């Protein structure tokens, strides 16, 4: 099949492209290579994908600009779209809420419109566990009422989910929304906690720890996330929302200890106050994904952190 992966040069996107190519599909990646973090990192991801020798093409463009998207959709007959392109991160969204709305909401509309106008019937879109906000019940279930988003990023992802439902209800697209829970692994973005902490601890520099270390996250290894994404491409759902997490919660202080053990170095803690927009816990109920996708995460943090640290050591700049 012909797949378009928006955000295909990024962390999750490049892994999805790699797996699709390995499964024998033709893959096009669409990415603007913006400077949210060093664009050379994405360029290296693209070099690896091109070096595979499999049918891969890259188109540079911004999802907020409908014209290059429409040109690509008219030039290539896509069977499916996996829409991962977004401005990511809770804390950066506090400083640039309009940018997050433009990319994550208007950009999603542009992708959905291009798909609708060219007859693409199936699209898988990335959402986020941040939509749950300060949820009083754990683990978080797709059936929970969503009334407490506390960041512009979370609000933009909720809007994307609503748009996905509209395009299913009105236009008949088969739409799956995936709420990712704190994804990590090789090629992880350098601004994310595990990568940032590993780099700082390795260099003997202090790591910023917001709060007392009791906050907890459902850290999910990239290979497990890709398993869930690809499972969505293999059957029709109409419209569904799935949590993709490890369903195992790791406290921040425990996460730091795992990184220390993998590096063989102790962390220097720079204790800081909790930040606006942060939530105390994320914890995925994945029973729906297990039932309907056959989703079965395989890599707990105790196994995944050493894999990431090994990749970091081989690729440190």
Token reading at 137: 């019940």
| pTM confidence score | 0.95
For residue 41, give the nearest of 313, 233, 316, 254 by alpha carbon. 316
pLDDT value for 26 = 98
Is the model's pLDDT at 136 over the cut of 70? no
Read off the pLDDT band of 254 (50, 70, 90).
very high
Kindly state the average pLDDT of the residues 254-259: 96
The answer to whether residue 153 is catalytic is yes
Q: What is the pLDDT of residues 42-82, one digit of tens each?
A: 999 999 999 989 999 999 999 999 999 999 999 999 999 99
Q: Where are the domains of the chain?
A: 2-315
pLDDT tens-place string over residues 28-38: 999 999 999 99
The residue count of the chain comes to 317
Which is the catalytic residue, given 100, 132, 153, 167? 153
100-110 pLDDT tens trace: 999 999 999 99
CA 309, CA 314: separation in Å to the nearest integer?
9
pLDDT for the residue 279: 78
Confidence check: pLDDT of 278 > 80:
no
With a cut of 80, say whether residue 255 has pLDDT above it: yes
DSSP code for 116:
H
Three-state secondary-structure class, residue 269: strand
Decide: 122 and 233 in contact? Cβ < 8 Å: yes
The answer on pLDDT for 157 being more than 70 is yes
Mean pLDDT of 279-293: 93
Could you give the C-alpha distances from 86 to 156, 173, 208, 219, 289, in angstroms and in order?
10, 21, 25, 20, 23
In whole numbers, what is the pLDDT of the chain averaged over residues?
A: 95
Angle at 285 (CA atoms; ends 211, 210), nearest 5 degrees: 10
Mean pLDDT for 123-131 is 96
CA–CA distance, 317 with 310 (Å, rounded to integer): 14
Q: Which of 54-63, 94-103, 131-140 has the lowest mean pLDDT?
A: 131-140
Note the pLDDT of residue 149: 84
Spelled out in words, what is the top-level CATH class assigned to the domain 2-315? alpha beta
């Amino acid at each position: 099949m012909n797949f378009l992966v928006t955000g295909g040069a990024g962390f999750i996107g490049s892994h999805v492209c790699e797996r699709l190519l390995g499964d024998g599909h033709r893959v096009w990646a669409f990415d603007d290579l913006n400077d949210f973090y060093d664009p050379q990192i994405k360029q290296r991801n693209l070099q690896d994908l091109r070096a595979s020798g499999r049918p891969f093409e890259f188109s540079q463009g911004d999802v907020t600009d409908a014209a290059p998207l429409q040109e690509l959709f008219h030039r290539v007959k896509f069977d499916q779209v996996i829409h991962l392109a977004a401005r990511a991160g809770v804390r950066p969204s506090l400083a640039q809420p309009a940018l997050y709305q433009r990319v994550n909401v208007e950009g999603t509309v542009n992708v959905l419109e291009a798909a609708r106008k060219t007859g693409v019937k199936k699209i898988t879109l990335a959402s986020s566990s941040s939509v749950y906000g300060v949820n009083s019940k754990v683990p978080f279930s797709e059936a929970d009422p969503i009334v407490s988003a506390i960041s512009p990023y979370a609000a933009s992802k909720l809007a994307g989910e609503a748009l996905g439902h509209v395009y299913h209800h009105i236009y008949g697209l088969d739409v799956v929304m995936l709420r990712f829970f704190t994804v990590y692994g090789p090629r992880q973005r350098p601004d994310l906690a595990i990568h940032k902490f590993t780099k700082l601890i390795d260099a003997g520099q202090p790591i910023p720890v917001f709060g007392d270390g009791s906050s907890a996250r459902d850290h999910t290894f990239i290979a497990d996330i890709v398993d869930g994404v690809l499972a969505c491409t293999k059957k029709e759902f109409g419209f569904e929302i799935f949590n993709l997490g490890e369903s195992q919660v790791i406290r921040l202080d425990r996460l730091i200890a795992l990184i220390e053990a993998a590096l063989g170095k102790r962390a220097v803690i720079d204790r800081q106050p909790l930040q606006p927009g942060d939530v105390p816990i994320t914890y995925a109920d994945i029973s729906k994904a297990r039932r309907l996708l056959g989703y079965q995460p395989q890599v707990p943090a105790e196994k995944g952190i050493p894999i990431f640290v090994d990749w970091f050591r081989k690729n440190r700049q």
